[in-house]
Amino acid sequence: MTDDPTDVSDVRTQADLVTRAAVSAPGRTAYIDRDGSMTWTLFDAGVGRVAAALQALGAARGDRVVIAVPTTIPFALAYFAASRAGLVAVPANPGFSRRELGHVVADSTAAVVVGALDADGLSAMRDLSGTVSGYLTADDVRRIALDEHAPSISQVPVESDDLATMVYTSGTTGTPRGAMLTHRNLMANREQLGRIQPPPLNAKDVLYVGVPAFHIYGLGSGLCQVAWVGATGVLVDDFHPVPSLDVIAERGVTNILAVPQMYAAWAACDPALLASAFANVRIASSGAAPLDADVIETLREVAGLTIWEGYGLTETSPVVTSTLVGGLPKPGSIGRALPGVEIELRDLEDGSIIDNADPESDHDSGEIVVRGANVFVGYWPDSADGPDAEGWFATGDIAYADDDGDLFLVDRAKELILVSGFNVYPKEVEQVVASLDGVREVAAVGVPHAATGEAVKVFIVREPSEAGSALDEAAVLDRSERDLARFKRPTVVEFIDALPHTSTGKVRRNALRASEAGKL
CA-to-CA distance for 483 and 471, rounded, in angstroms?
A: 17
Reading phi first (left if > 0) and then psi (alpha if -120 to 50, else beta), residue 125 is in alpha
Question: What residue type is assigned to position 507 of the chain?
Answer: V
Number of structural domains, the chain?
A: 3
Q: What angle do CA 164, 169, 175 make, to 5 degrees?
A: 125
| 197, 283 Cβ separation under 8 angstroms | no
Q: What residues does 208 pair with on adjacent strands?
A: 234, 256
CA-to-CA distance for 281 and 116, rounded, in angstroms?
A: 35
Contacts of 472 (CB under 8 A, 6+ apart): none
- CATH number of the domain within which 407 lies: 2.30.38.10
Q: What is the CA radius of gyration of the chain?
A: 23
Inside any domain, residue 505: yes
Inside any domain, residue 263: no
Inside any domain, residue 91: yes
CA distances to 18, 158, 299, 429, 500 from 383, rounded to whole Å, are 28, 19, 43, 36, 30
- Work out whether strand 283-286 and strand 307-312 pair parallel, antiparallel, or are unpaired: parallel
Residues 91 and 129 in one domain: yes
Inside any domain, residue 55: yes
Residues 405 and 449 in one domain: no
Show contacts of 161-165: CB within 8 Å, 24+ apart.
162/62, 162/86, 163/62, 163/88, 163/377, 164/13, 164/14, 164/83, 164/88, 164/89, 165/14, 165/79, 165/88, 165/89, 165/90, 165/91, 165/219
pLDDT at res. 172? 39
Instruction: Give residue-wise pLDDT tens across range 462-491.
Output: 999 999 999 999 999 999 999 888 889 999
Residues 366 and 494 in one domain: no
Inside any domain, residue 176: yes
CA-to-CA distance for 483 and 295, rounded, in angstroms?
A: 24
| 103, 92 Cβ separation under 8 angstroms | no
DSSP 488: G
DSSP code per residue over 299-359: HHHHH---EEEEEE-GGGSSEEEEHHHHT---TT--BEEPTT-EEEEE-TTT-PBP-TTST
Q: Residue 318, preceding bond cis, omega within 30 degrees?
A: yes
Contacts of 214 (CB under 8 A, 6+ apart): 67, 68, 71, 75, 91, 92, 93, 94, 167, 503
Contacts of 299 (CB under 8 A, 6+ apart): 263, 266, 267, 274, 278, 284, 305, 307
pLDDT at res. 508? 87
Q: Residue 198, preceding bond cis, omega within 30 degrees?
A: yes
- CATH number of the domain within which 448 lies: 3.30.300.30
CA-to-CA distance for 185 and 317, rounded, in angstroms?
A: 6
Q: What angle do CA 82, 229, 376 make, to 5 degrees?
A: 50
CA-to-CA distance for 144 and 40, rounded, in angstroms?
A: 16
Taking 50 as the pLDDT cut, the residues of the chain under it are: 5, 171-173
CA-to-CA distance for 214 and 217, rounded, in angstroms?
A: 9
| 164, 89 Cβ separation under 8 angstroms | yes
| 471, 433 Cβ separation under 8 angstroms | no
Residues 47 and 138 in one domain: yes
Closest CA to 92 of 70, 119, 124: 70
Segment holding 454, helix H or strand E: strand 453-462
State which residues form the domain around 56. Answer: 33-184
Inside any domain, residue 228: no
pLDDT at res. 382? 95
Inside any domain, residue 385: yes
Closest CA to 147 of 45, 258, 229: 45
Which pTM was predicted? 0.83
Closest CA to 187 of 372, 56, 332, 331: 372
Inside any domain, residue 422: yes
Residues 153 and 104 in one domain: yes
Q: By percentage, how much of the chain surpasses pLDDT 90?
A: 73
Residue 38 buriedness (CB in 10 A; 0-12 / 13-18 / 19+): buried
DSSP 501: B
Residues 344 and 450 in one domain: no
Q: What residues does 90 pair with on adjacent strands?
A: 66
Residues 436 and 403 in one domain: no
Among 414, 434, 462, the domain boundary falls at 414
The 3-state DSSP class for residue 163 equals: strand
Say how many C-beta atoms besides its own lie within 10 A of residue 352's C-beta. Answer: 11
Residues 107 and 93 in one domain: yes
Instruction: Give residue-wise pLDDT tens across range 489-519.
Output: 999 999 999 999 887 788 888 889 888 876 7
Segment holding 460, helix H or strand E: strand 453-462
Contacts of 458 (CB under 8 A, 6+ apart): 429, 430, 433, 442, 443, 444, 476, 490, 492, 493, 494
Residues 164 and 66 in one domain: yes
pLDDT at res. 207? 99
Among 139, 165, 184, the domain boundary falls at 184
Residues 175 and 51 in one domain: yes
Residues 69 and 141 in one domain: yes
- CATH number of the domain within which 82 lies: 3.40.50.12780
